[in-house]
Structure 1
Amino acid sequence: MADVAMHSRIEEHPDIQAMRLRAAEISAQPSAQATEGLTLLTGLYLAISPWVIGFNGNPLAVSNLVTGIALAVLALGFGSVFERTFGMGWAAAAIGAWAIIAPWVIQHATTTTGTIASNTATGAVAVVLGLMTTAMAMARGRS
């Protein structure tokens, strides 16, 4: 069996400070900060899009509101505690994928071309930003 040191608490792990320092370095980079900010704005737009596009009052509006708030809260986590949330980039990508397919999954008579275009564009941006966050986390693990 491999020679593995056992620690009773994570704070006692010898590399914990190095891991936290690396996470702080990544979150201080302009690209990471831009990704966090754009993810926050994407989530806020997704949440208010039913009122901007004019499809409030149907199930898709509720879905956009809930997933938009979730994406914005996730982005706040990226910005404030990156060392604990960097692995959640996949969740932002999943929210974006849901935003893309939601107009067809939540079939409603008031789904319009504008609704579909708004959700598709916003979802695509969320997917790209989520994948960027995941890539930063993977780069963090490699160094």
Structure 2
Amino acid sequence: MNTVWKKRIADVISLVIGLGLFLSPCPAGFSAESPMNWNAWLSGIMIAALGVAALAVFAEWQEWLTLAAGVWVAVSPWVLQFSSNPTVTPLHVIAGILVAAVAAVRLWYMQQSSPRVTV
């Protein structure tokens, strides 16, 4: 596999999860105009946009924002008080954990491979 794609697979994964989160209100049957819908739409758009931006031009700040967005998606059912929904809560928690984990691994690899100055 090409080295460039090995480095970008995390961004592709985030993009796919973001798009899936954005599209999830339709098949999951969320009620219209609810905090669950808006959270899925806005968080999905943000995660997908960060994935596209990272694919275009990589910067460390994109991974930090993706990590923060993943954490937000994972805790949002409790913050926005829709954690009692048995369909939506696991969807948000799993998507958020996956996005945060992928971003954290990417940041960890970036820190491991960054040039170090030795004296």
Give me the TM-score of the superposition, normalised by structure 1.
0.71
Alignment partner, residue 70 of structure 2 = 96
Q: Distance between the aligned counterparts of 1:48 and 1:111, measured in 2?
A: 21
Which 5+ residue runs of structure 1 have no aligned equivalent?
Answer: 1-27
Which 5+ residue runs of structure 2 have no aligned equivalent?
Answer: none
Q: Could you tell me whether the CA contact under 8 Å between 1:86 and 1:133 is conserved in 2?
A: no
Alignment partner, residue 109 of structure 2 = 136
Instruction: Give the 4+ runs in structure 1 shifted more than 3 A.
Output: none
The aligned amino acid for 1:50 is P
Q: Could you tell me whether the CA contact under 8 Å between 1:97 and 1:124 is conserved in 2?
A: yes
SS of 1:113's partner is coil
Give me the TM-score of the superposition, normalised by structure 2.
0.83
RMSD across aligned positions (CA): 2.1
- Counterpart among 25, 29, 32 of residue 54 in structure 1: 29
Q: Could you tell me whether the CA contact under 8 Å between 1:55 and 1:111 is conserved in 2?
A: no
Q: Could you tell me whether the CA contact under 8 Å between 2:36 and 2:88 is conserved in 1?
A: no
Alignment partner, residue 12 of structure 2 = 37
Q: Distance between the aligned counterparts of 2:31 and 2:25, measured in 1?
A: 5
Q: Distance between the aligned counterparts of 1:142 and 1:52, measured in 2?
A: 46
What is the Cα deviation at residue 87 of structure 1? 3.0
Q: Distance between the aligned counterparts of 2:113 and 2:53, measured in 1?
A: 17
What is the Cα deviation at residue 44 of structure 1? 0.6
